[in-house]
Amino acid sequence: MNDTLYNNRTVEGFLLSSLVWGVFGIVFGLLISVQLWEPAFNFGPFLSYGRLRTLHISILAYGLGLGVIFGLFYFMLVRLTKRGLVFPRLARFHLWLWNIGVVVAGASLFLGFTQSLEYAEFEWPVDIVVVIIWVIFAVNIFASVFLREEKQMYVSLWYMLASVLAVAVLYLVNNIAIPAGLTKSYHIFSGINSANMEWWYGHNIVGFLLTTPILAMFYYFLPVSTKLPIYSHRLSIVAFWALVFTYLWTGAHHLVYTPLPDWIQTLGIVFSLILIAPSWGSVINGFFTIESDWSKLQENYLTKFFLAAITFYGLQTIQGPGQSVRVISGLVHYTDWVIGHVHMGTMGWVTMTATACMYYVFPKIYNTEIFSVKLANSHFWLVFIGQLMYSFTMWIAGIQQSVMLKQLNSDGTLANTFMDTLVAIYPFWILRTVAGLIFTVGMVIFILNIVLTIVKGRSLSQSRA
Ligand code: HEM
Ligand code: HEM
């Protein structure tokens, strides 16, 4: 393929780097899951739960997640705009700077430098690097869309633009801090305002990194890989505008039953419930697209990845609004239930979609076929089973703990101590590690399949030359 037009080396660079960061993130995930039921696995301050939990989340979001987003956005962009990137060299620089950024950010978290704001852990010097990286990315995306050769704005482009813009605004606002040296700063907002701002950011950064970019990929890669046209373009556009409008009001659902004014909590809850509609607009579009020819499920191994992913997304976007309602939040908040929710989204919806897209992209870059469909099928089932087992064990553990914490003796005192609840959920934590291991084996098979595809593609192109 024409590398000057398609920037294949840059796309490949992002995707391969993201896999390397993904391995670190998943290994840290496994380790912290063990540390919760076997504290002896905390090794000194650097490999303790506190540091590694932060690293697990940040490396998966900003290493694996962002690498996939950068690589696949560049891949889609040149095809949807029918022109090469406006600044291909800048994209190359972007690749290097982002990798350096992940190393620096990871090292800073290892050393324990953190703002203590979830998903916004980095201290201000790292934030500056993040902003530079994002500006470089945004310049290429916006320039290529404005100077596009193709008139039609396909829905994936809208999702891409929204993701780039929203992340920029969220990151800038929530990271305003007063530096107190190179490695310490104070959030400019204080008290409940700090919490409100943090969760406006926290919810939406999850949305605009783990939902809208993934929808951009889903709308592009589902039709191109299955050759099934999207069921309704109009529905996809209506769902897009409704989703981006609704999303930004929902953050307060993370602060139900806190000192945050009641009306703000209610606003967050109401908008969370409204969010079901635009989310399901895409779910229905996905289902009907696949439903137009069920035989694709047998013929094309990627179809089941997309079907499972959109199903997980559908479940996630019913469960999420449910969790925000006061009575349910009172039951599940501060328990492992939420961890089950998180991993259905990340391991199910995000990872399934991203890996399916990569299965399509690598053979395209090398003008070959995937190394082994059988391996891809095993990968699918392992990730699928690992994911379900992970979430179900956490949902049960969450309810068990919540019910135990609320149980009262006849004299009104608490029937169980916090420690009692931990002892009760230990078996579920052990099962979660087993689930994580199953998921990890699936991901190792995926990476192996990709590497073997690249080896095959390279040897084919040498023999063609
Ligand atoms: C309609 C869409 C959704 C709504 C209304 C929603 C709602 C919620 C609520 C209420 C919580 C907080 C639970 C608590 O702490 O009590 C939560 C947590 C979370 N959700 Fe969702 N969710 C949605 C979709 C998603 C999707 C698609 C993903 C990921 C791909 C996701 C990832 C997360 C994460 C990572 C957290 C944990 C945040 C934290 O405490 O660190 N959610 N969600
Ligand atoms: C082998 C697979 C995995 C294992 C064993 C694992 C394990 C864990 C553990 C033990 C926690 C901390 C739970 C707690 O606070 O009680 C956690 C949190 C988290 N993990 Fe994973 N994880 C895995 C895969 C992933 C993947 C693939 C992603 C994203 C792409 C991810 C994203 C997150 C996020 C966002 C949180 C924070 C949740 C919150 O604060 O509510 N994890 N994970």
**∠118-121-126 over CA atoms, to 5°?**
155
pLDDT band at 462 (very low <50, low <70, confident <90, very high): confident
Helix boundaries (H) for 60-122: 66-81, 88-110
Report how far ligand 1's centroid is from the alpha carbon of 54 (Å).
17
87-105 average pLDDT score: 97
DSSP letter assigned to residue 254? G
Calpha distance 409→437 (Å, rounded): 40
Task: Return d(Cα 97, Cα 102) in angstroms, integer.
Answer: 9
DSSP assignment, residue 372? -
Average pLDDT over residues 91-98: 98
Considering only CA atoms, which of 169, 149, 139 is closest in space to residue 74? Answer: 139
Task: Assess whether the C-beta atom of 10 lies below 6 angstroms from ligand 1.
Answer: no
- Going by alpha carbons, the residue nearest to atom 28 of ligand 1 is 345
How many Cβ atoms sit within 10 Å of the Cβ of residue 82? 11
> Mapping DSSP to helix (H, G, I), strand (E, B) and coil, where does residue 247 land?
helix
- Residue 1 confidence (pLDDT): 46
Q: Which of 337, 341, 349, 353 to mutate to test the pocket of ligand 1 (most atoms within 8 A of CB)?
A: 341
**Closest residue to atom 17 of ligand 1, CA basis:** 320
Q: What is the pLDDT of residues 342-363, one digit of tens each?
A: 999 999 999 999 999 999 999 9
Asked if 307 and 292 count as a contact pair (C-beta separation under 8 A), the reply is: no
DSSP-assigned states of every residue in 106-156: HHHHHTT-----TT----HHHHHHHHHHHHHHHHHHHHHHHT-S--S--HH
Distance between CA 112 and CA 114 in Å, rounded? 6
Q: How many H helices and E strands in the chain?
A: 19, 2
32 Cβ below 6 A of ligand 2: yes
Using one digit for the tens of pLDDT, what is the confidence trace for 383-417? 999 999 999 999 999 999 999 999 999 999 999 99
Instruction: Give the pLDDT of residue 349.
Output: 98
Nearest-angstrom CA–CA distance, 329 and 32: 25
Dig out the tokens for 228 from the structure. Answer: 């099934």
Nearest 5°: the CA angle 98, 348, 385 is 130
> What average pLDDT score do residues 54-66 get?
97
3-state secondary structure of 43: strand
Atom 30 (ligand 1): residue with closest C-alpha? Answer: 345
- The model's pTM is 0.96
Dist. CA 392–CA 407, nearest whole Å: 23
From 30, 38, 56, 355, give the residue whose CB has the most ligand 2 atoms within 8 Å, as the site to mutate.
56
Q: Is the pLDDT of residue 272 over 50?
A: yes
Q: Is 289 in the pocket of ligand 2 (CB under 6 A)?
A: no
Q: What is the mean pLDDT of residues 122-147?
A: 97
Percent of the residues in the chain that have a pLDDT greater than 70, as a whole number: 99
- At residue 431, the pLDDT reads 98
∠ CA 19-22-27, rounded to 5°? 135
Is 246 touching ligand 1 by the criterion CB < 6 Å?
Answer: no
Mean pLDDT of the chain: 96
State in Å: Cα 319 to ligand 1 middle: 9
Tell which residue, 226, 229, 238, 361, has the closest CA to residue 307: 226
Give the pLDDT of residue 435. 98
Beta strand pairing call for 177-179 and 185-187: antiparallel
**Between vectors from CA 70 to CA 106 and to CA 129, what angle results, nearest 5°?**
45
pLDDT at 4: 61
- The best mutation among 24, 116, 339, 434 to test binding of ligand 2, ranked by most ligand atoms within 8 Å of the C-beta, falls on 339
Structure-block tokens of residue 286: 């996905």
Å from CA of 57 to ligand 2 middle: 6
Q: Point out the ligand nearest to the CA of residue 394.
A: 2
User: 343 in ligand 2 pocket by Cβ < 6 Å?
Assistant: yes
Give residue 465's pLDDT: 66
* For residue 93, pLDDT beyond 50: yes
Q: Which ligand is nearest to the CA of 330?
A: 1
pLDDT at residue 306 in the model? 98
What pLDDT was estimated at residue 5? Answer: 74
At 229, is the secondary structure helix, strand, or coil?
A: coil
Q: Does ligand 1 come within 6 angstroms of the Cβ of 155? A: no
CA 286, CA 419: separation in Å to the nearest integer? Answer: 45
SS3 of residue 233 by DSSP: helix
Residue 101 to residue 58: CA distance in whole angstroms: 12
The preferred substitution site among 30, 33, 52, 431 for testing ligand 2, maximizing ligand atoms within 8 Å of CB, is: 33
Closest ligand to residue 334's CA = 1
Whether the per-residue pLDDT at 460 is higher than 90: the answer is: no
| pLDDT at residue 31, as a whole number | 98
pLDDT band per the 50, 70, 90 thresholds, residue 119: very high
250 lines ligand 1 (CB under 6 A): yes
CA distance 30 to 436: 6
Query: pLDDT (tens digit, 9 = 90+) per residue, 309-335?
Result: 999 999 999 999 999 999 999 999 999
